[in-house]
Amino acid sequence: MEIIIPVIVLGVMGLVFGALLGVAAKAFRVEKDERIEQVQELLAGANCGGCGYAGCSAFAEAVVAGKANPSACPSTKKENIHQIAEIMGVSVEDGEKMVAKVLCSGTCDKTSVKYQYDGITDCVAVYRFGGGEKTCLYGCTGYGSCVRACLFDAIHVIDGVAHVDRDKCTGCGACVSTCPKRIIELVPAKQRTFVVCRSKEKGVVIKDICQAGCIGCKICEKNCPKDAIHVVDNIAKIDYDKCVNCGICASKCPRHVIEFKKRGEE
Amino acid sequence: MSLLVELVLLSLSTILVNNFVLVKFLGICPFLGVSKKVETAVGMSLAVTFVMTVASACTYLVQVFLLDALGIGYMQTVAFILVIAVLVQFVEMVIQKFSPSLYNALGIYLPLITTNCAVLGVALLNVQEQYDFIHSVVFGFSGGISFMLAIVLFAGVRERLETSDIPKPLQGFPIALITAGLIAMAFLGFQGLKF
pLDDT tens for residues B34-87?
888 888 888 888 888 988 999 999 999 999 988 888 888 888 888 999 989 888
User: How far is the C-alpha of B179 from the C-alpha of B157, rounded, in Å?
Assistant: 8
ipTM for the whole complex: 0.72
Length of chain B, please? 195
pLDDT band of residue B107 (cuts 50, 70, 90) is low
SS3 of A158, please?
strand
Which residue from A9, A25, A28 is facing B66, i.e. has the nearest CB?
A9
E-state strands within chain A: 98-102, 155-158, 161-164, 184-188, 193-195, 229-232, 235-238, 258-260
**Contact A7/B at CB under 8 A:** no
Could you tell me which residue, B142 or B106, shows the higher pLDDT? B142
Which residue from B78, B97, B164 is facing A10, i.e. has the nearest CB?
B78
Sign of the alpha-carbon dihedral angle for A142, A145, A146, A148: positive
Position A39, amino acid: V
Q: Answer yes or no: are the C-beta atoms of B138 and B11 closer than 8 Å.
A: yes
- Which residues does chain A have within 8 Å of residue B90's beta carbon, measured at their own beta carbons? 20-21, 24
| Average model confidence (pLDDT) across chain A | 86
Asked whether the beta carbons of residue B90 and residue A24 sit closer than 8 angstroms, the reply is yes
What pLDDT is stored for residue A266 in this prediction?
A: 54
Distance from CA of A10 to the nearest CA of B (A): 7
What pLDDT is stored for residue A94 in this prediction?
A: 65
**pLDDT per residue as tens digits for the range A164-223:** 998 888 888 888 888 999 999 989 888 889 999 988 888 888 888 888 889 988 899 899
Q: What element of type H or E holds B3?
A: helix B3-12
What pLDDT is stored for residue B154 in this prediction?
A: 93
Q: Answer yes or no: are the C-beta atoms of B12 and B195 closer than 8 Å.
A: yes
What pLDDT is stored for residue A38 in this prediction?
A: 83
Give the strand pairing for A161-164 and A155-158: antiparallel
Sign of the alpha-carbon dihedral angle for B178, B180, B183, B185: negative
- Which residues does chain B have within 8 Å of residue A6's beta carbon, measured at their own beta carbons? 72, 75
Is B136's pLDDT higher than 90? yes
Could you tell me which residue, B162 or B180, shows the higher pLDDT? B180
User: How far is the C-alpha of A56 from the C-alpha of A61, rounded, in Å?
Assistant: 9
Task: Pick the residue from chain A with its C-alpha nearest to B72.
Answer: A6
Distance from CA of A123 to the nearest CA of B (A): 12
- Which residues does chain B have within 8 Å of residue A14's beta carbon, measured at their own beta carbons? 82
pTM for the structure as a whole: 0.59
Distance from CA of A115 to the nearest CA of B (A): 19
**Averaged pLDDT, B27-40:** 83
The mean-pLDDT minimum among A27-31, A94-98, A237-241, B26-30 falls in: A94-98
User: How far is the C-alpha of A115 from the C-alpha of A217, rounded, in Å?
Assistant: 30
**Contact B96/A at CB under 8 A:** yes
User: How far is the C-alpha of B58 from the C-alpha of A179, rounded, in Å?
Assistant: 53
- Which residues does chain A have within 8 Å of residue B39's beta carbon, measured at their own beta carbons? none
The residue among B70, B86, B98, B160 with the most chain A CBs within 10 A of its CB, best to mutate, is B86
User: How far is the C-alpha of B87 from the C-alpha of B50, rounded, in Å?
Assistant: 11
Size of interface A-B (CB pairs under 8 A): 47
**Contact B188/A at CB under 8 A:** no
**Contact A9/B at CB under 8 A:** yes
Q: What element of type H or E holds A126?
A: helix A123-127
pLDDT band of residue A19 (cuts 50, 70, 90) is very high
Is A39's pLDDT higher than 60? yes
Percent of chain B whose predicted confidence (pLDDT) is above 70 = 96
What pLDDT is stored for residue B141 in this prediction?
A: 94
**Contact B179/A at CB under 8 A:** no
Which residue from B82, B94, B97 is facing A17, i.e. has the nearest CB?
B82
Which residue from B72, B82, B97 is facing A30, i.e. has the nearest CB?
B97
